[in-house]
């Protein structure tokens, strides 16, 4: 590294960024005073880093795990480059936060800046990653050879591998809870699970998972399966396994998913069990579909739900989390023009890989660049991880259904307004759903913020219970009690104030999973115990094939 005297002008490493800041002075979105303050602070910190690299000061410790390997600190050039990169990233984000614009525009700028910053990390490139370089030298190039092989494999697969996909097979070591497909149509298969107890609750239990993912997130392994847990607790469990749409069903609408999907599933479970009322659960978009179905049935004078559980579900779309930055009038019109029923080519499919890529780039360091570095630069095969295998098993969506969902929920937030929307020929009023409701939100959820999940408590009029769990959208939900992980919050009072933060102030943290609290609540609505059925289905709805069925095995 070239030597330089203390307080000399910055070297070439910092000059391009300083010039970029100079060029920003003409932008009216950032006040000149704020920009000048950021620039002065940046130059001060950059000078301190340079002087530290000359041995005239101690370089600050780096907590970022991308640069935690000893090779980063052992190499003075790499250490300086790391510190400067982190400083550049912080300053760019400060500039994005200082843009004088509306909240949505500022959020979009911050997101775009963060994408650039994460992509530009020196850890992502062999020429600037001393850890990857050392591995290549020590292995005589074998790590690079393996990395190229894995890169070529991912090019053929069309996505960055997050796990060893060859280690899993649906129905063999994921989605293994014993059961039988007892109904199918062009939209879904209905699975009834085999009893694990000699007696079961009289009221059956129907789960509606999200149609943008495969249902087996609820049945990954026996020790973390919500489905198996519910069966073991004495419930007669039915699960909707959505079809992975192909060209033959690309015309289907939101109404189809409600009427032919959730409503049809409710009718079949009623018929098989002989029960007029059943317990129901919806997860994420599955919860939105299920709530729509119950509201449609309420408009028809029916109340088939003895209880409703909503897991990380949006009904009030006033706060959509990070996904809100992708939705505005122009973007929705573009989707309608390319995927909707009135597009020049007619209705089209939204391909699952596009959705999967979007969700991965919501957390690019964890779900993209981490694997680029490990798989390609270090030549490390990604470990076998059931949740990430499920995450990569993407599903398509019919364009008309997707476009309706975008416009009327994320963009116009009409679902919560009584009578605003007509679905399946009925005016929707979610408050007309007459049953106890259990609402769950995850504290670190970036897709359905817990505050947004909490707002569902203001929609329903009957008995409601809200519980918040630790962690995110998936890990917070899939948290079996036996693991003894994480915690959850329950309010001492049954009051549900309009302000989520007011609820949180009155809530108490409890160690472990929220499943036990929910299980006790569900049992109170499940009816008396009776002998478990000896066979699945009934005379009308007979066994079609063993679980998990054909539909879940279809790749996008």
Condensed to tens digits (0 to 9), the pLDDT of residues 394-434 reads 899 999 999 999 999 999 999 999 999 999 999 999 999 99
pLDDT (0 to 100) of residue 56? 53
Condensed to tens digits (0 to 9), the pLDDT of residues 316-372 reads 999 887 888 888 999 999 999 999 998 899 999 999 888 888 888 888 888 899 999
pLDDT (0 to 100) of residue 59? 53
Domain boundary, last residue among 129, 153, 171: 129
Above 60 in pLDDT, residue 117? yes
Q: By the 8 A CB rule, do 50 and 26 touch? A: no
Which residues are catalytic, by number? 284
Q: 111 with 223, same domain?
A: no
Quote helix, strand, coil % in the chain, to nearest 5: 45, 15, 40
Here the CATH number for the domain that contains residue 306 is 3.40.50.1820
Q: 417 with 512, same domain?
A: yes
In a domain, 407, yes or no: no
> What is the value of pTM for the model shown?
0.89
What's the maximum distance between 2 C-alpha atoms anywhere in the chain? 89
pLDDT (0 to 100) of residue 25? 43
More confident residue, 177 or 108: 177
Q: By the 8 A CB rule, do 260 and 251 touch? A: no
Strands 545-546 and 529-531, sheet pairing: unpaired
In a domain, 237, yes or no: yes
In a domain, 173, yes or no: no
In a domain, 420, yes or no: yes
**CA-closest candidate to residue 284, choices 398, 442, 147:** 442
What percent of the chain lies above the pLDDT cut of 90?
A: 75
Condensed to tens digits (0 to 9), the pLDDT of residues 156-196 reads 888 899 999 889 999 999 999 999 999 999 999 999 999 99
Q: How many CB atoms lie within 10 A of CB 530?
A: 11
Provide the domain limits for residue 471: 188-317+413-553
Domain boundary, last residue among 129, 159, 180: 129
Average pLDDT over residues 125-146: 96
Give the DSSP H/E element, type plus range, for residue 97: helix 76-97
Q: 78 with 209, same domain?
A: no
Name, in order, each residue with C-beta under 8 angstroms of 382's C-beta and a sequence gap of 6 or more: 161, 162, 163, 164, 371, 374, 375, 388
Q: 105 with 235, same domain?
A: no
The tokens describing 13, both together, are: 């490493």
The b-or-e profile of 430-446 (16+ CB within 10 A means b, else e) is: bebbebbbbbbbbbebe
Condensed to tens digits (0 to 9), the pLDDT of residues 41-74 reads 999 988 888 887 777 544 556 788 999 899 998 8
| Gyration radius of the chain over CA positions | 26
pLDDT (0 to 100) of residue 61? 63
In a domain, 500, yes or no: yes
The pLDDT-based confidence of 2 (bands split at 50, 70, 90) is very low
Condensed to tens digits (0 to 9), the pLDDT of residues 447-482 reads 999 999 999 999 999 999 999 999 999 999 999 999
**Number of domains composing the chain:** 2
Strands 507-511 and 188-193, sheet pairing: unpaired
Q: Find the helix packing angle between 32-51 and 76-97, rounded to 10°.
A: 170
d(CA 309, CA 200): 19
In a domain, 264, yes or no: yes
The b-or-e profile of 257-282 (16+ CB within 10 A means b, else e) is: bbbbbbbbbbebbbebbebebbbbbb
Q: By the 8 A CB rule, do 230 and 236 touch? A: no
d(CA 345, CA 411): 24
Q: 208 with 285, same domain?
A: yes
Condensed to tens digits (0 to 9), the pLDDT of residues 255-279 reads 999 999 999 999 999 999 999 999 9
Q: 284 with 424, same domain?
A: yes
In a domain, 387, yes or no: no
Domain boundary, last residue among 129, 150, 176: 129
In a domain, 325, yes or no: no
Condensed to tens digits (0 to 9), the pLDDT of residues 479-527 reads 999 999 999 999 988 899 999 999 999 999 999 999 999 999 999 999 9
Condensed to tens digits (0 to 9), the pLDDT of residues 239-256 reads 999 999 999 999 999 999
pLDDT (0 to 100) of residue 167? 93
Q: 28 with 104, same domain?
A: yes
Q: 532 with 425, same domain?
A: yes
Q: 196 with 73, same domain?
A: no
Q: By the 8 A CB rule, do 378 and 135 touch? A: yes
């Amino acid at each position: 590294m070239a030597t330089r005297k203390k307080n000399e002008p910055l070297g070439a490493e910092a000059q391009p960024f300083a010039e970029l800041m100079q060029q920003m002075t003409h932008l009216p979105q950032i006040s000149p005073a704020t920009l000048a303050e950021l620039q002065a602070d940046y130059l001060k910190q950059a000078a301190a880093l340079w002087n530290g690299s000359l041995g005239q000061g101690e370089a600050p410790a780096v907590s970022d795990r991308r640069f935690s390997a000893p090779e980063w600190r052992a190499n003075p050039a790499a250490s300086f480059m790391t510190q400067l990169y982190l400083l550049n990233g912080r300053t760019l984000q400060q500039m994005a936060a200082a843009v004088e614009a509306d909240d949505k525009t500022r959020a979009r700028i911050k997101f775009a800046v963060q994408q650039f910053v994460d992509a530009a990390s020196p850890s992502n490139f062999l020429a600037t990653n001393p850890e990857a370089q050392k591995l290549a030298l020590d292995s005589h190039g074998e790590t690079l050879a393996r990395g190229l092989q894995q890169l070529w494999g991912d090019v053929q697969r069309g996505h960055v591998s997050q796990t060893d996909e060859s280690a899993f097979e649906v129905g063999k070591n994921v989605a293994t809870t014993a059961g039988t497909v007892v109904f199918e149509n062009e939209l879904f298969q209905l699975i009834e699970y085999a009893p694990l107890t000699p007696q079961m609750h009289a009221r059956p239990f129907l789960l509606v998972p999200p149609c943008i993912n495969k249902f087996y997130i609820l049945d990954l392994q026996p020790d973390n399966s919500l489905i198996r847990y519910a069966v073991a607790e004495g419930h007669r469990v039915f699960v909707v396994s959505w079809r992975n749409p192909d060209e033959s069903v690309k015309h289907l609408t939101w109404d189809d998913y409600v009427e032919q999907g959730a409503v049809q599933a409710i009718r079949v479970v009623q018929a098989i069990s002989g029960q007029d009322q059943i317990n129901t659960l919806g997860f994420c978009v599955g919860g939105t579909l299920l709530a729509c179905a119950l509201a449609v049935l309420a408009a028809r004078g029916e109340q088939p739900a003895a209880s409703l559980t909503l897991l990380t579900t949006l009904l009030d779309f006033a706060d959509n989390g990070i996904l809100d930055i992708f939705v505005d009038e122009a973007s929705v019109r573009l989707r309608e023009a390319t995927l909707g029923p009135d597009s020049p080519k007619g209705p089209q499919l939204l391909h699952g890989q596009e959705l999967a890529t979007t969700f991965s780039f919501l957390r690019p360091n964890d779900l993209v660049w981490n694997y680029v570095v490990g798989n390609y630069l270090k030549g490390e095969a990604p470990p076998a991880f059931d949740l990430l295998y499920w995450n990569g098993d993407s599903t398509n969506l019919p364009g008309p259904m997707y476009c309706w969902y975008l416009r009327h929920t994320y963009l116009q937030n009409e679902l919560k307004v009584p009578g605003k929307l007509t679905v399946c020929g009925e005016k929707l009023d979610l408050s007309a759903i007459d049953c106890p409701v259990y609402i769950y939100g995850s504290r670190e959820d970036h897709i359905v913020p817990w505050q947004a999940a909490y707002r569902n408590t203001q929609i329903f009029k009957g008995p409601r219970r809200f519980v918040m769990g630790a962690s995110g959208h998936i890990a917070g939900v899939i948290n079996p009690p036996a693991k003894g992980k994480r915690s959850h919050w329950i309010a001492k009072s049954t009051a549900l104030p309009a302000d989520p933060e007011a609820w949180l102030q009155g809530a108490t943290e409890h160690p472990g999973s929220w499943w036990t609290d929910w299980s006790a609540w569900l049992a109170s609505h499940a009816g008396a115990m009776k002998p478990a059925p000896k066979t699945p289905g009934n005379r009308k709805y007979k066994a079609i094939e063993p679980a998990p069925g054909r539909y879940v095995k279809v790749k996008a």
